[in-house]
Amino acid sequence: MNYDKRLGRLRVTINDNGARDHGYGHGATIECPDGWNAFCPVQTLTVSVEELRDLRYLIDRALAHAGG
């Protein structure tokens, strides 16, 4: 399974290489540059797919609280 999508500055990649060392199975990588140009450092977070689902839940709750 491979998934690689970019939206604005955010990029999400899912493959079976990202978190295998931790026993997660498939790994998810979330990337966000610190700015808008190509030379800015990129912050990278590698999580399991289950943790990605948890993050989605937290974001949905935050948007509901913000009225969005």
pLDDT per position as a tens digit, 6-53: 999 999 998 876 555 556 566 888 999 999 888 999 999 888 888 888
Q: What is the domain count for the chain?
A: 1
Q: How far apart are CA 66 and CA 30, in angstroms?
A: 23
Report pLDDT for 1.
61
Look up the domain containing 13 and give its range: 3-66
Amino acid (1-letter code) at residue 55: L
Give pTM, 2 decimals. 0.73
Burial of 34: CB neighbours in 10 Å, binned 0-12, 13-18, 19+: exposed
Q: How many CB atoms lie within 10 A of CB 59?
A: 10
| pLDDT band of 68, cuts 50, 70, 90 | low
Report pLDDT for 46.
87
